[in-house]
Amino acid sequence: MPTQLLPDTNPDTKPGANAEEVLGSPRPAGVRHLDPTAPERVARLTDLALRGLAAGYDPATGSFAQTVRGLSGGRGVTVAAQGTSLRYTAMAALGLSRVPEPAQRAVLGGRSAVDVALHAADLAAGSDDPGAVALALWCAVEVADLAPEALLDRLPGLLDGRPLPTVDAAWLLTAAVAAADLADTAETVDRAAALLRRYHGPGGTYPHVLPPRTQSRWRAHVGSFADQVYPLQALARASRLTGADWMLDHADRTAAAICTAQGAAGQWWWHYDSRDGRVVEPFPVYSVHQHAMAPMVLFDLWEAGGADHRAEIVAGLGWVDDHPEVVEELVTERFGLVWRKVGRREPRKAARAIAAAATSVWQGARVPGLDRVLPPVVVDHECRPYELGWLLYAWLTPATDRTEDHDA
């Protein structure tokens, strides 16, 4: 998608969510006893997400942008959709599948989430990206109730022993679990789960690539927040399919690690040491982790029979409005977006490189004065479509037995 300047999204004329439906959904309702304002926050964000997704969708290609970026210039502040992403198209379709079809069509220029899911599956059949293949299969199964053979046939070869990003391995497991009722994916479930089990660290956390030795010495021990939550989700879901206790135990241990490390204002920190679970570098704090990814996977864990981390979900959600790092609001009603992250004022990734190098030599090392020299005061004015897709998917997922017990 070429860069496309977009007008302001007027909330009165753009697609919106039904607030009563959102407030009555099991997940938002299930945290009201922890924070009476949380369901209303979720309703506001899900309404905004539909407007933001409309800004990131290109009807001409049937795909979603890589990002929607805020731009300042001679005529004031605007936003522009830039690039195209197969991964984000599948994620957005998963999220949109949770809202009524009229709302889907309002976002997608007359198309439905099923249409987008099938389009993503067609594109993924020729993709060399394991993560895109896995996400497209997951999306096709959940949204269109189809498991395309062209994607199923790819799964075994993606687990052939070559280095694999941790998130891709997790998505392969999630996709295989999702497709289990439509195809024989037992071997892929076993192999993907075994791969995650092999590199599950003593502290409950994962490195960025499996195996980690394929990374540099300075980076091999470090895994991102995404490298923790997607395996957590995959193993929680796989435990429901297989009944394997170790899968739920490993998911619980990862959840315990990130929840123990959670910041005082609900921040989900960015980089972790796969050897002991400690935080390597806290910043940036990403808004999608706060409002979507942590809720998505921690609800999945609880509903699979794991630990209840709803208090941490609520704390993380609260950061979106009550962040202590910056004065600027991250939720922009004007454009229907949530700005991507709060990061340090620094040369590109300097703090992460320093912290990774220090902890590679001395486990648990902390660089003194880092927050003073490289303060976390910079807002990244972009929003990626998957962030808003996951927001819908996290909070509007259908009910299960565990979600009915709101006061447990």
Supply angle C-alpha 267, 268, 271, rounded to 5. Answer: 125
pLDDT, tens digit, for every residue of 47-106?
A: 999 999 999 999 999 999 999 999 998 778 899 999 999 999 999 999 999 999 999 999
Cα separation, 93 vs 101, in Å, equals: 12
Cα separation, 135 vs 346, in Å, equals: 33
With a CB cutoff of 8 Å and minimum separation 6, the contacts of 161 are none
Helical H runs in 97-244?
101-107, 113-124, 130-144, 149-152, 155-158, 166-178, 186-198, 225-242
| Lowest pLDDT segment from 70-84, 137-151, 194-208 | 70-84
**Encoded amino acid at 180, one letter:** A
SS3 260: helix
Question: pTM to 2 decimals?
Answer: 0.92
Cα separation, 402 vs 274, in Å, equals: 31
Q: 88 and 385 in contact (C-beta within 8 Å)? A: yes
pLDDT, tens digit, for every residue of 351-387?
A: 677 777 778 766 766 777 788 889 999 999 999 999 9
With a CB cutoff of 8 Å and minimum separation 6, the contacts of 47 are 11, 16, 17, 19, 22
With a CB cutoff of 8 Å and minimum separation 6, the contacts of 315 are 262, 265, 266
